[in-house]
């Protein structure tokens, strides 16, 4: 057993950190479409979009842990790039029955996004789309949105080009959109059975936890640097025990988000789907318990400046709020964990 990254994983983390550093956002002023497009191009050039591709009869090229490592690095940098929603989670579905489409997404020839149910707990169904209720995630500039028909038959909805219409911008680095549907959804001729869907959902939960893991680490890191530099009453505020204890507790929580996500990420490819999903729900429930509070603490440590729009603090909070909520918040996960344990 080894509950820590191996050499290869540490190398990937180092590559991911370098890449994410060049995509980093440090203030709301830096967020614009041009920057997102540039970030997407850089991500495409690295080949990381195709992590979850399968060669015939084999497992994915990159493990769940690799997805965690990339997502965490991007989350830490607040990178405005749809790695999960337009790459990892799309390829994971397409690789099950539409390998050519998966390959096209992986090498950047074709761009997809996810369509979510209006409660943000699930992928949208075809009926959500027909009723105009589907929410687009990663659909800006995408040709297709992924949606499920009855019996989880995988469909693609063609999306029209044009300026994205924002449906929700709680997370400024990853807005949710009104999908501009350009035609009726078409079946891709395969369905996700329970096993495949559970595994996919586990990957989605892990990806979100990893993104938040990164954002929490990033938030704590800027707060610690600030606490070392900022002076009050003639000394650095980081010398005050009141503040040290807040940050120490946050470090404990952030560290535990990482370790629970490590296990869930590993489980995706290594354990039966039900166990992998339980591990992912456990990590997500824990994120829901601690994530928001850590971000609030970081904003508090920054004092007045941490309450301003210009400051980076709320960008971390926004990112973690969205990560915590998509595909079910803490309460949803606890209910599902109880079902797994009791029923």
Residues forming contacts to other proteins in the complex (CB under 8 A) are: 1-6, 9, 63, 65, 224, 227-228, 235-236, 238-239, 241, 243-245, 247-249, 251-252, 255-256, 259-260, 262-263, 265-267, 270, 282, 285-286, 289, 331, 333-335, 337-339, 341-342
CB-wise, 79 or 290, nearer to other proteins?
Answer: 290
CB of 103 to other proteins, least distance (A): 27
CB of 96 to other proteins, least distance (A): 24
CB of 156 to other proteins, least distance (A): 33
Is residue 258 a contact partner of residue 218, using CB atoms and an 8 Å limit? no
At 181, phi and psi to the nearest 5? -75, 135
- Listed in sequence order, the residues at least 6 apart from 177 whose beta carbon sits closer than 8 Å to its beta carbon are 135, 136, 137, 139, 140, 164, 165, 166, 167
CB of 95 to other proteins, least distance (A): 22
State which H helix or E strand residue 19 sits in. Answer: helix 7-22
CB-wise, 181 or 268, nearer to other proteins?
Answer: 268
> What gap in Å lies between CA 58 and CA 73, rounded to an integer?
27
SS3 at position 56: coil
Q: How far is CA 310 from CA 30, 298, 307, in A?
A: 10, 15, 9
Place of tokens 């009869």: 57
Pure H helices in 302-343: 313-325, 330-342
CB of 239 to other proteins, least distance (A): 5
CB-wise, 230 or 311, nearer to other proteins?
Answer: 230
User: Given the DSSP bridges, would you call strands 176-178 and 235-236 parallel, antiparallel or unpaired?
Assistant: unpaired
Q: Encode burial over 30-57: b for 16+ CB neighbours within 10 A, e otherwise.
A: eeeeeebeebbebbbeeebbbbbbeeee
CB of 234 to other proteins, least distance (A): 11
Is residue 9 a contact partner of residue 65, using CB atoms and an 8 Å limit? yes
State which H helix or E strand residue 198 sits in. Answer: helix 194-229
CB of 78 to other proteins, least distance (A): 21
User: Given the DSSP bridges, would you call strands 186-191 and 112-116 parallel, antiparallel or unpaired?
Assistant: unpaired
CB-wise, 85 or 297, nearer to other proteins?
Answer: 297
CB of 192 to other proteins, least distance (A): 26
CB-wise, 160 or 221, nearer to other proteins?
Answer: 221
CB-wise, 160 or 338, nearer to other proteins?
Answer: 338
Query: What distance, in Å, lies between the first and last C-alpha atoms of the chain?
Result: 30
């Amino acid at each position: 057993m080894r509950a820590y990254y191996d050499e290869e994983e540490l190398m990937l983390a180092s590559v991911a950190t370098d890449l994410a550093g060049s995509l980093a956002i440090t203030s709301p002023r830096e967020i614009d479409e041009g920057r997102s497009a540039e970030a997407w191009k850089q991500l495409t050039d690295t080949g990381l979009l195709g992590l979850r591709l399968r060669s015939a009869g084999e497992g994915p090229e990159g493990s769940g842990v690799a997805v965690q490592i990339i997502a965490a690095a991007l989350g830490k940098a607040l990178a405005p790039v749809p790695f999960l929603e337009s790459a990892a989670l799309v390829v994971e579905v397409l690789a099950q029955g539409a390998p050519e489409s998966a390959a096209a997404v992986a090498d950047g020839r074709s761009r997809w996004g996810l369509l979510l149910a209006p409660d943000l707990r699930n992928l949208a169904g075809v009926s959500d789309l027909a009723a105009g209720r589907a929410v687009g995630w990663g659909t800006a500039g995408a040709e297709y949105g992924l949606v499920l028909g009855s019996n989880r038959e995988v469909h693609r909805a063609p999306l029209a080009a044009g300026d994205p219409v924002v449906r929700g911008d709680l997370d400024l680095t990853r807005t949710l959109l009104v999908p501009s549907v350009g035609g009726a959804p078409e079946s891709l001729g395969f369905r996700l059975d329970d096993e495949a869907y559970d595994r996919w959902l586990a990957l989605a939960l892990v990806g979100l936890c990893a993104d938040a893991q990164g954002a929490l680490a990033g938030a704590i890191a800027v707060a610690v640097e600030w606490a070392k530099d900022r002076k009050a009453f003639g000394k650095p505020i980081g010398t005050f025990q009141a503040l040290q204890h807040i940050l120490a507790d946050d470090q404990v929580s952030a560290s535990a988000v990482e370790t629970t996500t490590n296990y869930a990420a590993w489980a995706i490819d290594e354990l039966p789907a039900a166990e992998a999903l339980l591990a992912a729900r456990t990590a997500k429930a824990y994120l829901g318990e601690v994530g928001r509070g850590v971000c609030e603490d970081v904003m508090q440590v920054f004092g007045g400046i941490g309450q301003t729009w210009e400051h980076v603090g709320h960008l971390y909070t926004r990112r973690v709020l969205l990560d915590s909520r998509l595909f079910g918040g803490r309460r949803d996960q606890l209910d599902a964990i109880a079902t797994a344990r009791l029923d």
